[in-house]
C-alpha cells in the first residue's frame, strides 16, 4: 500500500509539465536541481534553530528585558493537591461557589484555601511578561535576519524586479546555494514553531489561524521545492517576512511600556503588512502563480491547483489578520 501511495504521490503529471520526467532533474551540464530528499535536513535544522532560540532568549533577551525595565515576576505555586489538580485539568479552571464548597469538604480544608489554590493555579497558566518578551525577541531576530538575507539573496536577481522571469526556462532552472539555505532556514523555522506550540504563548484570538498558517507554509515551501518553483518560493518568503519583524518589535516595546515607540512601530507594521500582504501578494505573487503559467503551458499540472489552493488559503489568513489589524488601528485612532 505504501509503495502504491508513494508512486501516486510522485507521479510526474502531478508535479511537472507534460513530457517531463524525474530523470530530467538529474544534475548535469552545470545545472543543479532541488532534490525532495534534501527536505529531511529541515528537521535537524529546526532543532539547531531551537538551540539558537533558547540560547538567545536566555543570554540576550533576558538582559535586554532588564535594561528596558521588564522584571521577572515569580508566581507563587499552589500547594500540591491531587484532587484539586485533577479537577482543574479535567473539569473546570473556574469552579462555581457550590463546586468550591464540595471540593473543600472533599479535601478537608476551608473554602478560602480552595479559592486561593485555584487562583494561584490559574496564574501559573498565564505567561509572564518576560516570557512574552523572550518569544517576541526570538521571532523579531529571525524575521529581521531572514528579511536582510532575503534582500541580499534577491536584489541582483532579474525575477526580483520582473515577475515574468520566474517562469523563463522552467522547469530547468538551476538551484543556487543561496536559495538552498534560504529554504532550509525558513522551513526549519516553521518546523520549530510547530514543535514549540505547547510551550509558546497561546493566542486565544488566532491560535488555530497560526497552526493553519505554519502547516500551509511548510506544505507550500516543501511542494515548491519538489516542483522546482524555487524562484517564486523565495519571493513568497521575502514578502511574508518583511512585515513581521516590525510587529514583534512593537510587541517588545509594548511589554516594556514604551507606549510611543510601540505605537510608531505598530503603524509601520500596519503599513508594511497592507503593502506586502494585501497588495503585493495577491496582485504580484498570485498573478504570477495563477495567470502567468497559462502563457507557458496550455495544460496546467495538478500541482498548479494544489499550490494555488494553499496560496489562496494564505491570502484568506492575510485578510483575516488584516481585519484584526484594522480593528486595532480604528481603536487607536478614534479611542486614543
The CA distance from 290 to 81, in Å, is 59
CATH 1.10.10.60 domain range(s) in the chain: 82-125
At 52 the pLDDT is: 96
CATH architecture group of domain 82-125? Orthogonal Bundle (1.10)
Q: pLDDT at position 203, please?
A: 66
- Write out the three cell numbers for 104: 473543600
**Residue 219 preceded by cis peptide, ω within 30:** no
pTM here is 0.84
Would you call 28 helix, strand, or coil by DSSP? strand
Determine the pLDDT at residue 247: 94
pLDDT at position 299 is 64
The pLDDT score that the predictor gives to residue 55 is: 95
| Short-list 18, 34, 15, 16, CA closest to 26 | 34
pLDDT at 336: 63
pLDDT mean by block of 10 residues, the chain; 336 residues: 80 77 83 91 95 94 90 77 81 82 83 84 80 93 95 94 89 91 95 85 70 85 90 93 93 92 93 94 91 73 84 90 90 77
What pLDDT score does 96 carry? 82
Q: Are 223 and 309 in contact (CB under 8 A)?
A: no
> 31 forms bridges with which residues in the sheet?
28
CA–CA dist 47, 142 (Å, integer): 14
Residue 285: the pLDDT is 92
Amino acid at each position: 500500500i505504501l509503495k502504491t501511495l508513494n508512486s501516486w504521490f510522485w507521479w510526474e503529471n502531478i508535479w511537472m509539465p507534460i513530457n517531463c520526467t524525474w530523470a530530467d532533474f538529474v544534475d548535469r551540464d552545470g545545472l543543479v536541481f532541488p532534490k525532495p530528499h534534501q527536505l529531511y535536513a529541515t528537521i535537524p535544522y529546526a532543532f539547531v534553530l531551537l538551540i539558537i532560540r533558547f540560547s538567545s532568549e536566555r543570554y540576550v533577551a533576558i538582559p535586554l528585558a532588564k535594561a528596558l525595565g521588564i522584571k521577572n515576576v515569580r508566581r507563587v505555586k499552589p500547594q500540591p493537591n491531587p484532587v484539586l489538580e485533577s479537577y482543574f485539568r479535567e473539569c473546570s479552571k473556574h469552579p462555581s461557589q457550590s463546586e468550591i464548597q464540595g471540593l473543600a469538604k472533599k479535601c478537608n480544608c476551608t473554602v478560602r484555601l480552595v479559592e486561593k489554590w485555584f487562583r494561584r493555579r490559574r496564574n501559573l497558566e498565564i505567561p509572564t511578561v518576560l516570557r512574552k518578551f523572550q518569544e517576541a525577541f526570538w521571532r523579531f531576530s529571525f524575521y529581521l535576519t531572514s528579511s536582510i538575507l532575503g534582500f541580499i539573496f534577491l536584489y541582483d536577481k532579474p525575477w526580483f524586479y520582473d515577475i515574468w522571469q520566474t517562469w523563463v526556462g522552467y522547469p530547468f532552472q538551476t538551484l543556487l546555494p543561496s536559495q538552498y539555505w534560504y529554504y532550509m532556514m525558513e522551513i526549519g523555522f516553521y518546523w520549530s514553531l510547530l514543535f514549540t506550540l505547547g510551550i509558546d504563548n497561546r493566542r486565544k484570538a488566532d491560535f488555530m489561524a497560526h497552526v493553519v498558517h505554519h502547516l500551509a507554509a511548510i506544505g507550500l515551501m516543501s511542494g515548491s521545492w519538489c516542483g522546482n518553483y524555487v524562484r517564486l518560493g523565495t519571493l513568497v518568503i521575502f514578502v511574508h517576512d518583511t512585515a513581521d519583524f516590525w510587529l514583534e518589535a512593537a510587541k517588545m516595546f509594548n511589554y516594556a511600556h514604551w507606549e510611543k515607540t510601540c505605537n510608531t512601530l505598530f503603524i509601520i507594521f500596519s503599513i508594511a503588512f497592507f503593502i506586502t500582504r494585501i497588495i503585493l501578494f495577491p496582485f504580484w505573487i498570485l498573478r504570477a502563480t495563477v495567470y502567468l503559467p497559462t502563457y507557458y503551458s496550455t495544460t496546467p499540472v495538478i500541482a498548479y491547483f494544489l499550490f494555488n489552493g494553499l496560496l489562496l488559503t494564505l491570502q484568506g489568513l492575510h485578510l483575516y489578520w488584516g481585519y484584526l489589524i484594522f480593528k486595532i488601528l480604528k481603536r487607536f485612532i478614534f479611542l486614543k
